[in-house]
Structure 1
Amino acid sequence: MARKGLFLALRLVSVLSVGPRYTIRSVLTRFSSRLETLPTWTETFDQFRKLDIFLNYDYGAPTGTLELKMHQNAQVEKRSRGRPQVRSDEETRSVIIDAANDQFKKAGYASASIHAIAQTAGVSTKTLYRLFPAKADLFSDVISTKISRYFLGLDSQSLSGLSLQEGLERLLAAYGRLTLSSETIIITRLVLSESDRFPEIASVFYEQAIKRTSKAMEDWLTRQVELKAVRLDDVPLATGMLRGMMAMEPQRAVMLGQVSDISDDEIIARARACAHLFVDGCIRGK
Structure 2
Amino acid sequence: MNAEPQIKKGRKFDQVIEGARTVFMREGYEGASVDEIARDAGVSKATLYSYFPDKQHLFLAVLESECAQQAEIEFLMDAGDLSVEETLHVICKALMTFILSDFGQDMFRVCVAEAQRFPELGRTFYESGPKKWGRKIAQYLDSPRARAALNIEDTALAADQLAQLCRADLMLKVLFGIEKDPPEAEIDRVASEAVKTFLARYRRP
Q: In structure 2, how many angstroms separate the alpha carbons of the residues matched to 1:157 and 1:282? A: 18
Q: In structure 1, how many angstroms separate the alpha carbons of the residues matched to 2:119 and 2:45? A: 24
One-letter amino acid matched to 2:42: G
Q: Deviations over 1:2-42 (max 9, x none)?
A: xxxxxxxxxxxxxxxxxxxxxxxxxxxxxxxxxxxxxxxxx
**8 Å contact 1:221–1:235 — kept in the other structure?**
yes
Residue 121, structure 1, aligned to residue 35, structure 2: no
> Partner of 1:159 in structure 2?
79
**8 Å contact 2:29–2:110 — kept in the other structure?**
yes
> Partner of 2:142 in structure 1?
222
Structure 2 unmatched ranges of 5 or more: 1-8
> Partner of 1:210 in structure 2?
130
> Partner of 2:106 in structure 1?
186
Q: What TM-score comes out, normalization by structure 1 length? A: 0.62
RMSD: 2.3
One-letter amino acid matched to 2:117: R
Q: What TM-score comes out, normalization by structure 2 length? A: 0.84
- Flag the structure with larger Rg: 1
Q: Secondary structure at the match of 2:30?
A: coil
**8 Å contact 2:98–2:104 — kept in the other structure?**
yes
Structure 2 matches for 1:126-275, cutoff 5 A? 126-152=46-72, 154-155=74-75, 158-224=78-144, 227-275=147-195
Q: Could you tell me how far 1:213 is from its partner in structure 2?
A: 1.5
**8 Å contact 1:154–1:171 — kept in the other structure?**
no
Change in Cα spacing, 1:161 to 1:126, as seen in structure 2 (3 Å) is farther
Quick one: which of 89, 104, 112 aligns to 2:10? 89
Q: Secondary structure at the match of 1:109?
A: helix
Q: Could you tell me how far 1:120 is from its partner in structure 2?
A: 0.9
Structure 1 unmatched ranges of 5 or more: 1-87
Residues matched between the structures, number: 197
Q: Deviations over 1:78-132 (max 9, x none)?
A: xxxxxxxxxx935x22222222122112222123211211111111222222223
Q: Could you tell me how far 1:203 is from its partner in structure 2?
A: 1.6
Q: Which has the higher contact order (CA 8 A, sep 6+)?
A: 2
Aligned residues with identical type, % of pairs: 27
One-letter amino acid matched to 1:207: E
